[in-house]
Amino acid sequence: MIRRLLNLVPPGTIAIGAGLGLLGLASYVHLAVAGHSLDKADYSSLSVLWSIVFTLGIGVFMPVEQEVARIVAGRRTQGLPPGPVLARGAAVAAGVLVVMVVIVLAGYRVLADRLFDGDGAMVWVLVGSLAAMAVAYTTRGVLSGLQLFPWYGGQLGVDGGLRIAFVALLGLAGVTEPVWYGAVLVAAPLIGVLATLPPVLRAIGGGLPVAWPALLRGLGLLTASSLLSQVVVNVGVINARVLAPSDVATAGALLSALVLVRIPLFVFASLQASLLPGLATSATTGNHAAFHGLLRRALGVVSALGLLGAVGAVLLGPWLVGALFDAPGVLDRGDFAWLSVATLAYLWAMVLGQALLALDRHRAQAVAWTLGVAALVIATLAPLSVALRVELGYTVGSVVVAAVMALFLRGATRTTPPAAPAPAAATTPVSGGVR
């Protein structure tokens, strides 16, 4: 029976899911230990750092991983080495990183004063964390494209395991400086890369350089969608600090609450590996019934996950954030209800976005996320309390994205889906910004 169930999921799903599960657990442990070790101001600074790192890191570097994986997988079927693809992907990631670092350092003093309570060391931790993510995501692209899924899951697992070990040591040692808890986001992923580097080095080989258009063709739109999706789910904590710099309690409490209400996103991450290939296969063959059937099932699953998570968050959320993260009691059940509704809509948007990608509607997906971010900005400007403005922005932004995607899908599926090859590599799971 177990073997039969395992045959139903794509290759690599179990290995990647196990690594992702450990990495997700590490996020909770990391924030829990930091919440009990740091004062409110320092935990607020760590919360902002966390949100910036995962908004920019996942938003910008995950598309590089996906494109590297796609091209490496295609070359693998032709017996071609992945070395030239890695070289191009690393060049793209390095170029993007340089631009980001220049911007961060140009605003060094402003960022330190406005976001990190004057602590300039946190800006350098931000730079280091982004560099670590650039390296990690690029090498994961090669591992995924070569279908070295145990190594891929191993990198995630090493990263997560080391985060747990490092923050446990910091907590036991009584460390109360936020910079050390932030530095874990630099050290753990880099060591994870080193631990899984041998198969990458063995597989590199030689070969002719990969043409830039092959890598860059869909990268722009994919990066825009990825980055904007992370803005919707993560920018609330940053906005709370910007809107009320002296209110250090709200930013930390919001991050703790978001970590709880976004648990369904981790479950969706394990489902996503099979969703896009299934939808793309149906689209390629013009099988409308199979396409819509899979889409409806996926929406049903995430709706159930979102509603189940919402019930738990509303009933237990205010108590859990205090017990787990030592978060200040500034959020009530109404706040958790808003965040839960937003997360449910965000889950819908993630599923509908996969359907648009399967139909080769990259531009439509990017437009939907752009409109969602615009709606988020407008909602955040409402004359309400800081927490409610952030919650309303997340909710309105997510609902607008899902609604616009639904409209695009309705128009797109009236015609025969375009023939496009199904992704050759397993789709990298998303994280909802908590990695």
pLDDT digit of tens for each residue in the chain (435 aa)?
445 544 544 555 677 778 888 888 898 899 999 999 999 889 989 999 998 998 888 889 988 888 888 788 777 777 788 888 888 899 999 999 999 999 999 999 999 998 898 999 999 999 999 999 999 999 998 888 888 888 998 999 999 999 999 999 999 999 999 999 999 999 999 999 999 999 888 877 767 677 777 677 778 888 888 889 989 988 888 888 888 888 878 888 888 898 889 888 877 766 665 576 577 777 777 788 888 888 898 899 889 989 999 999 999 999 998 888 888 888 999 999 999 999 999 999 999 988 887 787 888 999 999 999 999 999 999 898 899 999 999 999 999 999 999 999 987 766 544 444 444 444 444 444 445
Q: What share of the chain is helix, strand, coil (3-state, %, to 5)?
A: 80, 0, 20
DSSP state of 9: S
* Cα–Cα distance list, 209 to 70, 82, 215, 217, 356 (Å): 16, 10, 11, 16, 31
Q: What confidence score (pLDDT) does residue 9 get?
A: 47
* Cα–Cα distance list, 31 to 50, 123, 430 (Å): 10, 19, 19
Helix (H, G, I), strand (E, B) or coil at 39: coil
pLDDT digits (tens, 9 = 90+) for 145-202: 888 888 998 999 999 999 999 999 999 999 999 999 999 999 999 999 999 999 888 8
* Cα–Cα distance list, 354 to 220, 226, 369, 375, 406 (Å): 17, 12, 13, 21, 12
* Cα–Cα distance list, 190 to 136, 149, 185, 197, 365 (Å): 7, 18, 9, 10, 32
In terms of C-beta density within 10 A (0-12 exposed, 13-18 middle, 19 or more buried), how is residue 38 classed? buried
Can you read off the two tokens belonging to residue 338? 């808003």
> How many Å apart are CA 307 and CA 327, to the nearest integer?
24
Residues 6+ apart with CB under 8 A from 337: 310, 314
DSSP conformation letters of 206-234: --PPPPHHHHHTTHHHHHHHHHHHHHHHH
Please report how many Cα atoms fall inside a 13 Å half-sphere around the Cα of residue 165, on the Cβ side.
Answer: 9
For the chain, the straight-line distance linking the first and the last C-alpha, in angstroms and rounded, comes to 32
